[in-house]
Amino acid sequence: MADIFISYSRIDQPFIKRLSQALESQGFSVWWDRELLSGDNFADDIERELMAARAVIVGWSQSGSKSRWVRDEASVAADAGTLIAISTDGSNPPIGFRQFHCVDFSNWQGQTDDPAFVDVTRAIKARLAPLPPVHTNMPASAQPTVTTRHRRSTDSALTSYPVPSLAKVIAVLPFTNRSPEPDDAFFADGVHGELLTQISRLTAVQAISRTSVMGYRDSTKSIPDIARELGAVAILEGAVQRAGHRVRINVQLIDGKTDTNVWADTYDRQLSPENIFDIQSDITREIADAMQAALSPEDELLLSADAPTNNLTAYDAFLRGKQKMRSEASGEDDFHQAIEEFDQAIAVDPHFAEPHANKARAYLTLYWFFGWDRRWLPMAKRSVERAAMLAPNAIETLLAQAYYCYWGELNLERAEQVLNRVLTTAPQNTEAWACKSYVIRRSGRFAESIFALKKAMRLDPMLVDLPMELSNTLGAIGHTVQALDMVDRVQKLAPNANFTAIVTADVFHLTGQAQRAWEAASSKVDREDFIYYYRRSFHALNTADPQLIASSFTTWPVQFRSTPMFPETYSLYRAMAYKVLGQQRELETILPKIQQRLATLDEPYPGGWLPEAAYYPVTLPGLMGNLEDVRAAVETYHAHAKQDQFATLYHYHSISTAFLFCNDTDSALTYLEKLTTIFGPASFLAIAIMPQYRALESCSRYMSMQTACQQWQAASAL
Max CA separation in the chain (angstroms): 83
pLDDT at 134: 31
CA 80 to CA 460: how far, in whole Å?
Answer: 19
Q: Are 51 and 447 in contact (CB under 8 A)?
A: yes
Compute φ and ψ for 86, nearest 5 degrees. Answer: -130, 160
Question: Residue 60 above 90 pLDDT?
Answer: yes
Alpha-carbon distances, residue 537 vs 416, 564, 598 (angstroms): 35, 19, 22
User: Which of 201-205, 278-282, 300-304, 323-327: highest mean pLDDT?
Assistant: 278-282
pLDDT tops 80 at residue 550: yes
Element housing 64 (H / E): none
Q: Cα 174 to the chain's mean position, in Å?
A: 25
- Is the pLDDT at 44 greater than 90, yes or no? no
Taking residues 426-452, report their average pLDDT. 90
Contact between 164 and 231 under an 8 Å Cβ cutoff? The reply is: yes
Residues 6+ away with beta carbon under 8 Å from 586: 578
* More confidently predicted of 593 and 459: 593
pLDDT at 303 over 90: no
Give every CB contact of residue 119 below 8 A, 6+ residues apart in sequence: 103
Where are the alpha helices (H) located in 426-513, listed in sequence order? 430-442, 446-459, 465-476, 480-493, 498-510
Question: What pLDDT, on a 0 to 100 scale, did the predictor assign at position 330?
Answer: 64
Strand-strand pairing, 234-243 and 246-255: antiparallel
The residue-averaged pLDDT of 367-389 equals 91
Contact in structure between 587 and 573 (CB atoms under 8 Å): no
Distances (CA, A) of 580 to 167, 613, 621: 57, 20, 16
For the chain, percent of residues with pLDDT exceeding 90? 51
Q: What is the pLDDT of residues 150-195, one digit of tens each?
A: 222 333 332 222 333 345 788 999 998 888 777 778 888 888 888 8
Question: Lowest mean pLDDT: which of 207-216, 310-319, 626-635?
Answer: 207-216
| Structural element, H or E, at residue 87 | strand 83-87
Q: Which residue has the higher pLDDT, 426 or 663?
A: 663
Burial class of residue 385, CB neighbours in 10 A (0-12, 13-18, 19+):
middle
DSSP label at residue 682: G
Task: Please report, for residues 14, 208, 457, the alpha-carbon distance to residue 48 in angstroms, rounded to integers and kept in the order given.
Answer: 24, 26, 20
pLDDT value for 98: 77
C-alpha–C-alpha distance, residues 439 and 416, integer Å: 7
**Please, what is the angle between helix 627-640 and helix 648-661, to 10°?**
160
Interior/surface letters 285-297, b for 16+ CB within 10 angstroms, e for the rest: bbbbeebebebee
Distance between CA atoms of 656 and 630, rounded to whole angstroms? 10
What is the spatial distance between Cα 710 and Cα 144, in angstroms, rounded to a whole number?
A: 14
CA–CA–CA angle 642, 643, 645 (5° rounding):
130
With 0-12 CB in 10 A as exposed, 13-18 as middle and 19+ as buried, what is 183?
Answer: exposed
Q: Could you tell me the fold of the domain covering 169-307?
A: Rossmann fold (3.40.50)
Crossing angle (nearest 10°) for helices 430-442 and 465-476: 20
Element (H, E) at 251: strand 246-255
* Strand arrangement, sheet containing 83-87: 30-31, 4-7, 55-60, 83-87, 102-104
pLDDT at 568: 97
Over the stretch 499-512, which tens digit does the pLDDT of each residue have? 999 999 999 999 99
SS3 at position 264: strand
Of 98-102, 116-120, 437-441, 577-581, the poorest mean pLDDT is in 98-102
User: What end-to-end distance do the CA atoms of the chain give, in Å?
Assistant: 28
Q: Would you identify the CATH topology of the domain 4-129? A: Rossmann fold (3.40.50)
Q: Domain extents for the chain?
A: 4-129, 169-307
Identical fold between 4-129 and 169-307: yes
Residue 432 reports pLDDT greater than 80: yes
Better-predicted residue by pLDDT, 460 or 620? 620
Residue 141 has pLDDT above 50, yes or no: no
CA 445 – CA 655 distance, rounded (Å): 23
Residue 6 has what pLDDT? Answer: 93
The H helix count followed by the E strand count for the chain is 32, 11
Measured in whole angstroms, how far is the alpha carbon of residue 234 from the centre of its chain?
A: 27
- Higher pLDDT among residues 636 and 325, named by residue: 636
At residue 132 the predicted structure's pLDDT band, cuts being 50, 70 and 90, is very low
Which helix H or strand E contains 310, and what residues bound it? none
Name which residue leads in pLDDT, 328 or 547. Answer: 547
pLDDT in tens, 105-120: 999 999 999 989 998 9
Q: Among 429, 451, 431, 427, which residue's Cα sits nearest to residue 440?
A: 451
Highest mean pLDDT: which range of 132-141, 217-226, 606-615, 692-701: 692-701
Question: Quick one: residue 96, left, alpha or beta (phi over 0 = left, psi -120 to 50 = alpha)?
Answer: left
What helix, strand, coil percent values describe the chain, rounded to 5? 60, 10, 30
Average pLDDT over residues 97-111: 86
Is the torsion defined by CA of 352, 358, 359, 361 positive or negative?
Answer: positive
Q: Which of 43-52, 187-196, 647-656 has the largest mean confidence? A: 647-656
Query: What span, in angstroms and rounded, lies between the C-alpha atoms of 461 and 454?
Result: 9
**654 compared with 123, residue with greater pLDDT:** 654
pLDDT value at 93 more than 70: yes
More confident residue, 24 or 672: 672
Q: Is the pLDDT of residue 645 over 70?
A: yes
Count of other CB atoms within 10 angstroms of residue 698: 8
Q: Is the dihedral of CA 619, 620, 625, 626 positive or negative?
A: negative
Confidence of residue 345 (pLDDT cuts 50, 70, 90): very high
Mean pLDDT across the chain, nearest whole number? 86
* Alpha carbon distance 13, 280 (integer Å): 39
Q: What gap in Å lies between CA 413 and CA 406, rounded to an integer?
A: 9
Report how far residue 18's alpha carbon sits from residue 15's, in angstroms, rounded to the nearest whole number: 5
Note whether 484 and 509 are within 8 A (CB): no
- The number of angstroms, rounded, from the C-alpha of 713 to the middle of its chain's C-alpha atoms is 27
Worst-scoring range by mean pLDDT, 173-177, 455-459, 599-603, 614-618?
455-459
Q: Which residue has the higher pLDDT, 79 or 578?
A: 578
Asked if 323 and 186 count as a contact pair (C-beta separation under 8 A), the reply is yes
Separation CA 558–CA 391 (nearest Å): 45
Q: Which residue has the higher pLDDT, 205 or 608?
A: 608
Q: Name the least confident of 153-157, 215-219, 265-269, 384-388.
A: 153-157
CB proximity list for 565: less than 8 A, separation 6 or greater: 371, 372, 373, 374, 606, 607, 610, 613
DSSP state of 563: B
Q: Where are the alpha helices (DSSP H) in 498-626?
A: 498-510, 514-521, 530-543, 546-554, 569-581, 584-599, 619-623
* Residues 183, 194: Cα–Cα separation, whole Å: 19
Residue 519 has pLDDT above 90, yes or no: yes
Gyration radius (Cα) of the chain, Å:
27
The contacts of residue 528 (CB under 8 Å, 6+ apart) are 498, 557, 560
